[in-house]
Amino acid sequence: MTTFSEIAPQLEGQAIEVPSWAYGNSGTRFRVFGSPGTPRTVQEKIADAATVHRFTGLAPLVSLHIPWDRVDDFGALRRYAEDLGIGLGTINSNTFQDEDYKLGALTHTDARIRQKAIDHHLECIDVMHETGSRDLKIWLAEGTNYPGQGDLRGRQDRLAESLRTIYDRLGHEQRLVLEYKFFEPAFYHTDVPDWGTSYAHVAALGERALVCLDTGHHAPGTNIEFIVAQLLRLGKLGSFDFNSRFYADDDLIVGAADPYQLFRILYEVIRGGGFGPDSPVAFMLDQCHNIEAKIPGQIRSVLNVQEMTARALLVDTDALRAAQDAGDVLTANEIFMDAFYTDVRADLAAWRESRGLPARPMQAYLSSGYQQQIEADRAGGTQAGWN
């Protein structure tokens, strides 16, 4: 069986991008809950993201959301992040909070509204130039509530045209990643509901257009690792939004609902060449901490991804392939399960200590005094949230 010492070098440089909005107030579909120490500005969000990286060594980038994180000088914001030891990552657009987008944005029948949505994405590309960001991530809350409400094919045609306009504005080193979600907030149909629809659009755009796979955006029972394998096979998996859910899109801590699923996904990522220094696949989190503390929630998530990555790397691929080729069903499954059940926590703790990181990042954070300090420093003002 593969040992931890054999796979340890492959853990070097693992990077998991954290979202700025995870540090703001969020909640259920019915209520947003506040908590002491919540950032009031994008700078305070970045400071919290840098704290996660300082304790874990796993989160060197923070993704921004426009307009939630809009500032007058993104160059200065980039320098602020760099001074804290991290960079600015993916730029996320927002076409789901404007009154004009009630019936669609990039798919709207009104050319004026479509152009407004396109212009917002062009603004995001301008932000990318200033921040040094590689990826523009697009998630669309577009669809219809009733049969006959909209022309399903016409909406796809307008979406394709809008995406083309956005894609053509990208710089040579920049990418467009198109997310999908099989339902919500539309009740009858969603314009980009699955990986196939996202793939169809990005394949038509070009090589720098890829699919973003949010692990919470699937119907119950969906074999997500199969989707991962297929997109990697096609060269179209651009990024992950890692989170977890029990029923619908809950944006919970990664691995909270089904650690074995996370393991299976990461095995296929590794199997398909989506992990490592030369991989084009970005590991990101997409979480909204409803009731739990925000920074510890992000620490827990990045550690969960690291742990399941280590377990997936422990799969004895030579023995597995031999069993598969021999049609030995139970041995193949046993080899797979042996890696999943291997407890690597002590090994990872020692690995972190050897790199000057705390062996137990969560406990180190809780005893650092940072949480108490931000609760005192951030009293007053308006806390950041869905605004």
Model confidence pLDDT, tens digit, residues 104-140: 999 999 999 999 999 999 999 999 999 999 999 999 9
Residue ranges of domains in the chain = 11-377
CB 209 within 8 A of CB 176: yes
What's the pLDDT at 18?
A: 98
Phi, psi of 29 (to 5 degrees): -70, -10
* Cα separation, 384 vs 40, whole angstroms: 5
What's the predicted TM-score (pTM) here? 0.96
How many CB atoms are closer than 10 A to CB 343? 9
Quickly state the pLDDT bin for 74 (edges 50, 70, 90): very high
* Cα separation, 228 vs 272, whole angstroms: 9
* Cα separation, 361 vs 53, whole angstroms: 10
pLDDT at 224 over 90: yes
Q: Which residue has the higher pLDDT, 250 or 71?
A: 71
Rounded mean pLDDT of 327-346? Answer: 98
Whether the link from the prior residue into 185 is cis, omega within 30° of 0, is yes
- For β-strands 26-27 and 32-33, DSSP reports them as antiparallel
Whether the link from the prior residue into 67 is cis, omega within 30° of 0, is yes
pLDDT at 27 over 70: no
Cα→Cα distances 149→106, 162, 314, Å: 17, 21, 51
Could you tell me which residues are beta bridge partners of residue 135? 175
For residue 45 the two structure tokens come to 């969000």
Q: How many CA atoms lie within 13 A of 126 on its CB side?
A: 12
What's the pLDDT at 387?
A: 63
* Cα separation, 162 vs 114, whole angstroms: 7
Could you tell me which residues are beta bridge partners of residue 63? 19
pLDDT at 1 over 80: no
Quickly state the pLDDT bin for 383 (edges 50, 70, 90): confident
Q: Check: CATH 3.20.20.150 for 11-377?
A: yes
Phi, psi of 192 (to 5 degrees): -130, 80
Q: Residue 119: which residues within 8 A CB-CB, separation 6 or more?
A: none
CB 244 within 8 A of CB 258: yes
First to last CA, the chain: 51
Quickly state the pLDDT bin for 29 (edges 50, 70, 90): low
**Residues 372, 373, 376, CA angle at the centre, nearest 5°?**
90
pLDDT in tens, 199-223: 999 999 999 999 999 999 999 999 9
For residue 285 the two structure tokens come to 């989190």
pLDDT in tens, 150-185: 999 999 999 999 999 999 999 999 999 999 999 989
What's the pLDDT at 264?
A: 98
Residue 210 host element (H or E): strand 209-214
pLDDT at 346 over 80: yes
Quickly state the pLDDT bin for 385 (edges 50, 70, 90): confident
Tell me what percent of the residues of the chain surpass a pLDDT of 90: 91
Cα→Cα distances 155→103, 117, 121, 139, 294, Å: 11, 14, 18, 15, 38
For residue 380 the two structure tokens come to 């007053």
pLDDT in tens, 263-291: 999 999 999 999 999 999 999 999 888 88
